[in-house]
């Protein structure tokens, strides 16, 4: 019996309001830097894929915040390529980091709030489990999602990143629900689906384009899928 649902954040509940390459290029120009917008997006994707897990075990809050900044600085520097050598890079990076800490930089998918309310009406406990940094709770509050959740678990706080099992067990403790009674929902087949199942949870794959076998295309379909798990 499912007693709780955990959900990924970026790609599942929310997404940047504009393409990352467009935002990076616009803010680089504002800082006096010249960077080809078309080059940024693919470099950003490669940098994210090559980055180590966004998790820093056994660190206090001050050290964790410093290491979050350092982690993202490496990703943004790689995204800018040679443009990162510009004297204005650090100021631009800091502006970008602040930008993505603001809910106005993000858009919530239209199916999210209705689905969360429906899940709560079923008596399920809800949490976000995300490979994110300390900006996440503030973003969820800005986007009016925090009040619909019982817990928020992000990788730098948990000291472990999906698909690693400890982040799912952190959610288990936060929700006070055994992991085998938790259904995790996310758009990443490896981090969300395989990771949750390896940790002992049930998992549902969300694929918004609707062309992945066994996946749901919208969170509006989640309640029906849960019925089939009972």
Mark whether 61 and 28 lie in a shared domain. yes
Q: Which of 56, 78, 104 is the last residue of a domain?
A: 104
Q: For residues 26 and 186, what is the distance between their CA atoms, to the nearest angstrom?
A: 30
Average pLDDT value for the chain:
96
| Separation of alpha carbons 159 and 74, rounded Å | 19
The string of pLDDT tens digits covering residues 21-74 is 999 999 999 999 988 888 999 999 999 999 999 999 999 999 999 999 999 999
How high is the pLDDT of residue 201? 98
Sort strands 202-205 and 182-186 into parallel, antiparallel or unpaired: parallel
**Residue 178 tokens, joined:** 């055994």
Confidence bin at 230 (pLDDT 50/70/90): low
pLDDT per residue over 145-189, tens digit each?
999 999 999 999 999 999 999 999 999 999 999 999 999 999 999
For 86, the domain range is: 17-104
CB 149, CB 140: distance < 8 Å: yes
218 with 126, same domain: the answer is yes
In CATH, what number is assigned to the domain containing residue 71?
Answer: 1.10.150.720
Q: pTM for this one?
A: 0.94
Q: Tell me: do 149 and 54 sit in the same domain.
A: no
Count structural domains, the chain.
Answer: 2
What share of the chain in percent tops pLDDT 90?
A: 93
Last residue of a domain, one of 75, 104, 133: 104
* Of 172, 196, 176, residue with least CA distance to 185: 196
């Amino acid at each position: 019996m499912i007693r709780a649902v955990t959900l990924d954040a970026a790609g599942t509940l929310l997404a940047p309001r504009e393409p990352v390459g467009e935002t990076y290029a616009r803010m680089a120009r504002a800082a006096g830097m010249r960077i080809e917008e078309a080059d940024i997006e693919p470099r950003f994707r490669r940098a994210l894929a090559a980055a180590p897990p966004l998790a820093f075990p056994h660190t206090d809050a001050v050290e964790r915040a410093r290491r979050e900044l350092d982690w993202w600085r490496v990703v943004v520097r790689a995204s800018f390529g040679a443009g990162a050598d510009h004297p204005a890079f650090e100021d631009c990076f800091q502006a970008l980091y602040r930008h993505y800490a603001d809910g106005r930089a993000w858009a919530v998918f239209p199916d999210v709030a209705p689905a969360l309310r429906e899940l709560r009406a079923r008596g399920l406990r809800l949490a976000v489990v995300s490979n994110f940094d300390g900006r996440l709770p503030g973003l969820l509050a800005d986007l009016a999602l925090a009040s619909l959740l019982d817990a928020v678990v992000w990788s730098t706080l948990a000291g472990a990143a999906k698909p690693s099992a400890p982040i799912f067990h952190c959610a288990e403790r936060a929700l006070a629900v055994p992991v085998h009674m938790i259904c995790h929902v996310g758009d990443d087949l490896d981090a969300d689906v395989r990771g949750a199942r390896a940790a002992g949870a049930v998992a549902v794959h969300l694929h918004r384009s609707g062309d992945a076998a066994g996946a749901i295309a919208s969170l509006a379909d989640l309640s029906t899928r849960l019925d089939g798990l009972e």
